[in-house]
Amino acid sequence: MIKHKLIKVNEEQKEFHLTNKSISYVFKVLNNSKQLEHLYYGKKINHSESFDYLIEREGRPANNLYEGSETSSFEHIKQEFPSFGTTDFRDPAFQIKYPKGDHISHFEYQDYEIYDGKPTIEDLPSTYTETDDEATTLCVRLKDQYSELYLILYYTIYRDLPVITRRSVFKNEDEESYFLDKAMSMSLDLPEKDFDLLHLNGAWARENHISRTPLSIGKKSISSARGATGPVHNPFIALARPETTEKSEEVYGFSLVYSGNFEAQVEVNTYNVSRVMMGINPFNFSWKLEPGEIFNTPEVVMVYSNNGLNQMSQTYHDLYRNRLVRGTWRDKDRPVLINNWEATYFEFDEDKILEIARESSELGVDLFVLDDGWFGTRDTDNGSLGNWTVDKRKLPNGLRKVSEEIHNMGMLFGLWFEPEMVSKDTDLYKNHKDWIINVPGKNVSHGRNQYILDFSNKEVVDNLYQQMDKILTHVKIDYIKWDMNRYISEAYSVNLESDRQGELYHRYILGVYSLFERLQTKYPEILFESCAGGGGRFDPGMLYYSPQIWTSDDTDAVERLKIQYGTSLVYPISSIGSHVSTVPNHQVGRNTPINTRGDVATFGTFGYELDITKLNKEEKNKVVKQIKMFKKHQKLIRTGTFYRLKSPFESNEVGWMIVSPNKSEALIGFYQVLARPNAPYERLKLQGLDPNKRYKIFPGSEYRYGSDLQNVGLLFSQNETTRKDEYWSQNNKSDFNSRLIYIKDFGDNFSD
């Protein structure tokens, strides 16, 4: 047997066991048919000389036998990467169209390789390692029996996290071209159906709400066919046991590192086997693979937890903030920002911008972001996209002057772009009518009066690079908000041959990634925040290029409780763009106290999105306090372990907390949506503390042991009067109330 650090191979039986201290993943090569049979994925099991005991296929009818295969049809075999047409009638992981027009493939195991570390994927975002001992990668190579096509399955297991990443690669060593009509990143056959399917669904201004439904026989899939991941379904699913809570029991997470059309599907067959598949949406997808070419699918990050949803989320947070996010800002505190969008919309001039910036700088804000409306003649949303030159009517002294003034105030300066879009009133459109995505001669829809540039065309990407580069070389820009406000409807590129139209969606997103890459290579210091009409492209692919993402255009504190709670299922708190905005709220008209707005935004990147000059003195004092408070706890918020305690989807009271890695301090957010007269006492049981540490509770002068805080909890009552000071919100006999509690270990801990 060959023992690699995290991968054990039984050469004789051709069994592969990927294992670390918490998980095991086992599969083998079938003797006769040379197919890959899946044997186990879940909590760590002991390594065994033979895993034959995991094989389950006795007593099944042996009809539809594949010539030369094992005792049973492939329908009864749990597989690693199933094909169609060879006696498995479930959905396949891939489909290749052969020159004759058929889709029958037969890939057989060829060989394998094991590497230390984790290779990157050309042109696609992915998680990474910093040193080779952090992970081990297994590549299994299969060869088609009907062509010179190769399929390579990549598996990387991380040493210290319950994480396995998977992806597939297709390689054409033939002299013919073949069409990949479906190419999922991974497939997994779990031997049961006793799961709930969790996913994040929503719409504009109500992103990432958690949905949970029991699996049943048949197929359930979530997907996007909009050219971006979109706000309707996030590229994430989890299979949790019916009894799984935030704190306990099993859950399997699947998250796709991709920003384009995706599909995640679970198919439960009549034998209660659940086939999970994830990857590029096969709908309208077809990729011509020419001789000598390879096709890389995006990676799926699989997380296993047997301690509930919180542990799954903590694993994603840990991996994504440390080994997906990259660059200068990965490990740095992010600037507290103010964005002028909800303050001015399109109506501003230099004086107004500088007035907001000046006031904000005095209150402690670090970064001023100039949002939409600074270019062309953009007074409404019906023009100028694609004309990235400053509007001298609004900013007569140019962007450079604004940037200099703002830097002189001691602040950083950020700018909004929407590079993928064009308006018809621009030269860019007039000179290049064939640069928009549409089918010539057919109707082309617009969204927000704008059209989508064909980012599958390198010339288009070059043009946008040049336009943006010109600004970035002349003006000191520290931050870019990269927006994207509509989706691809009539998908067609005049730049692609008719048999390559099925490549457009994927080529489009590769073009988007390439522009990010080029800009970031030249300007590594710039902090990027991506955005798509709020959280319409909040996905791991974007996180690779932008350490923070605007979570939603809905800035109402109550709505944000659900949006941020759901987003935290996968994405680290340090990535969740969250701002305090004005009241009545522009999206829902609700009046929530400024404290509550601040207490919600604190669990994110933190900033403001209102006309700060219009706040009264008392509110400005609160802003100063909020910023001080955020900055004091910023490192804890950025690096701590996040626990969801009480769900806004289930109760009027909401709770969450962040504990520092050494458990010496924690910040707790507690929110009460509506006031409830003479209500039962609310106790919030904390998690993740050291039971024997004695923590001081702020505000107040109480000391409590971790064991007590976890088992008895913090009491929130309607009549609380004793703990009023800066950390408490207004009198709690009101709707939309909140409290932030900070606890810190001051020594004097318990020992037997």
Binding site for ligand GLA (CB under 6 A): 341, 371-372, 416, 483, 485, 531, 533-534, 550, 553
**Structure tokens given for 615:** 């706040």
The span from the CA of 650 to the CA of 296, in Å, is: 41
**Residues 670 and 718 sit within 8 Å (Cβ to Cβ):** no
**Residues 446 and 437 sit within 8 Å (Cβ to Cβ):** no
Q: Which amino acid is at 9?
A: V
Q: If we measure between CA atoms, which residue out of 650, 629, 598 comes closest to residue 742? A: 629
- Packing angle between helix 458-474 and helix 504-522, nearest 10 degrees? 20
Position of tokens 């804890």?
A: 636
Q: Which of 372, 483, 599, 690 is catalytic?
A: 483
The number of beta carbons lying within 10 Å of the beta carbon of residue 405 is: 18
Q: Which helix (H) or strand (E) holds 410?
A: none
Q: Sort strands 251-256 and 300-305 into parallel, antiparallel or unpaired.
A: antiparallel
The span from the CA of 27 to the CA of 319, in Å, is: 25
Residue 533 Cβ vs ligand GLA, minimum distance, rounded to whole Å: 5
Q: If we measure between CA atoms, which residue out of 33, 24, 27, 32 comes closest to residue 10? A: 27
Nearest residue to ligand GLA by CB is 372
CA 175 to chain centre: 39
**Structure tokens given for 220:** 């359930």
Q: Which of 372, 553, 690, 745 is catalytic?
A: 553
**Residues 667 and 740 sit within 8 Å (Cβ to Cβ):** yes
Residue 340 Cβ vs ligand GLA, minimum distance, rounded to whole Å: 10
DSSP 8-class letter at 602: T
Nearest 5°: phi and psi at 450?
-125, 165
The number of beta carbons lying within 10 Å of the beta carbon of residue 662 is: 9
Q: If we measure between CA atoms, which residue out of 491, 490, 582, 488 comes closest to residue 537? A: 488
Nearer to ligand GLA, 335 or 577 (CB): 577
The span from the CA of 34 to the CA of 32, in Å, is: 6
Nearer to ligand GLA, 586 or 631 (CB): 586
Q: Sort strands 737-745 and 665-672 into parallel, antiparallel or unpaired.
A: antiparallel
Spatial neighbors of 480 by CB under 8 A, at least 6 apart, are: 414, 415, 416, 417, 519, 526, 527, 528, 529
What is each CA distance from 741 to 623, 639, 695, in whole angstroms? 18, 18, 12
Distance linking the first and last C-alpha atoms of the chain: 47
Nearest 5°: phi and psi at 521?
-65, -40
Question: What distance separates the 2 farthest-apart alpha carbons in the chain?
Answer: 82
The span from the CA of 117 to the CA of 136, in Å, is: 5
**Residues 280 and 297 sit within 8 Å (Cβ to Cβ):** yes
Q: Is-catalytic flag, 372?
A: no
DSSP 8-class letter at 6: S
Q: Which amino acid is at 511?
A: G
User: What are the DSSP calls for 316-358, one per residue?
Assistant: HHHHHHHHTS-STTTTSPPPPEEE-HHHHTT---HHHHHHHHH
**Residues 389 and 375 sit within 8 Å (Cβ to Cβ):** yes
State whether residue 606 is helix, strand or coil: coil
The span from the CA of 304 to the CA of 318, in Å, is: 14
Q: Is-catalytic flag, 483?
A: yes
Q: If we measure between CA atoms, which residue out of 729, 607, 527 comes closest to residue 360? A: 607
The span from the CA of 376 to the CA of 563, in Å, is: 34
Q: Which amino acid is at 489?
A: S
Q: Which helix (H) or strand (E) holds 208?
A: none
Q: Which amino acid is at 273?
A: V
Active site residues: 483, 553
